[in-house]
Amino acid sequence: MQVEAHAKLNLTLDVLGRRPDGYHDLRMVMQSIELADLLDLSYTNTGELRVSTNLHFLPNNEKNLAAQAALRWYESAVVQNPGKWDTEDLKRSVNFDGLDVTIEKHIPVCAGLGGGSSDAAAVLRALNLMEDACLSPEAVASIGALVGSDVPYCVIGGTALAEGRGEILTPLPPLPRCWAVLCKPEFSISTPALFAKIDSVRLRCRPDTKGVIAALEAGDLAGVSRRMYNVFEDALPERQRTRVNDIKNTLIQCGALGASMSGTGPTAFGLFDSEDKAREAWERLREFGGEVFLAQTV
Ligand code: C5P
């Protein structure tokens, strides 16, 4: 089975506080875009779970979130919906003969675009279909929460509010279809390190999440775009913050309706209501280096 794993953008990202379990309570408006990895899942008789990608530096063992997703699936799917499984199914799913997952990466890695989480979500969605398990999207998302905080959203996709660790999801009215231009600068950011730093940073500004939701309800793309904000921008080291700001300024100069950073970065993006302006921004940013993408929202 072949499946696509879409990248996500954070239209807003707010950190509400640190929790006793060490994670942080978040409030974020998320949006899927067309930029996607391609996954191919096939049963084998090797007795092994094998993951391979076209990027040599990505793990092909359990450290890969796609492999973790498959393992959590075989542990959880049976438990979640016992009535649906007979003994043969159970034997087949627990002592499976082998599974190969091949991932063609297009989403940049460690970029704040949820690439690894989306691959994991795609594995879960595919296994739900391949095994004819008929778990609801919510049940699949709850298995995803065992793999990573962004995985439940990646199972559902579209436009959604994510709260708690990221696993409490409320679908929102879809963002009016538009073009996103993304630029991932040359450096990468460690998500745990930035989360650790945010506790000691005095946040200058918080996103207007309610305003973004009201704008979505009104179908007001410009209203959403000008309210986009991500508190992690304040936690970036000076040089990296300057680079992200330069990208955002270029996007705005080229006619973006708004610009922000996605996730824990470092990818910055802008939203456009005109394909011509988006293409111009894409060309301008390519002159400055980094990985630059033009994608429609999904
Ligand atoms: O859940 P996930 O493994 O994707 O999270 C990666 C890291 O990000 C965690 O180890 C934690 O440091 C941080 N995190 C957090 N609060 C969240 C989500 C992630 O502190 N809600």
Q: Are residues 107 and 191 in the same domain?
A: no
Give nearest CA residue, ligand 1 atom 7.
Answer: 192
Q: Are 33 and 1 in contact (CB under 8 A)?
A: no
Out of 171, 194, 211, pick the residue that ends a domain. 171
pLDDT digits (tens, 9 = 90+) for 60-111: 888 899 999 998 998 876 555 555 545 455 445 555 678 999 999 999 999 9
CATH number where 137 lies:
3.30.230.10
Q: What total number of domains does the chain contain?
A: 2
pLDDT at 127 over 90: yes
pTM confidence score: 0.93
Cα 91 to averaged position of ligand 1 atoms, centre (Å): 34
CATH number where 272 lies:
3.30.70.890
Q: Are residues 211 and 92 in the same domain?
A: no
pLDDT digits (tens, 9 = 90+) for 172-209: 999 999 999 999 999 989 999 999 999 998 888 999 99
Give nearest CA residue, ligand 1 atom 6.
Answer: 192
Give nearest CA residue, ligand 1 atom 21.
Answer: 165
Between CA 129 and CA 136 the distance in angstroms is 11
Out of 109, 139, 171, pick the residue that ends a domain. 171
H/E element holding 242? helix 238-253
Give the mean model confidence (pLDDT) for residues 211-221: 98
Percent of the chain with pLDDT over 90: 82
Please give the number of the atom of ligand 1 that sits closest to the Cα of 264.
8
Please give the sequence-ordered ranges of beta strands (E in DSSP) within 122-166, or none if there are none: 159-164
Q: Taking Cα atoms as reference points, which of 257, 255, 251 lies closest to residue 292?
A: 251
Tokens coding 65:
């979130």
Please give the number of the atom of ligand 1 that sits closest to the Cα of 166.
21
Beta partners for 258? 271
What residues are labeled active site?
8, 150
Q: Are residues 166 and 192 in the same domain?
A: no
Provide the residue count of the chain: 298
Q: Are residues 200 and 274 in the same domain?
A: yes
Q: Give exposure, 148-182, as e/b (b: 16+ Cβ within 10 Å).
A: bbbbbbbbbbbbbbbbbbbbebeebeebbebbbbb
In angstroms, the Cα distances linking 264 to 49, 217, 261 are: 30, 27, 8
Domain that holds residue 75: 2-171
Please give the number of the atom of ligand 1 that sits closest to the Cα of 25.
21
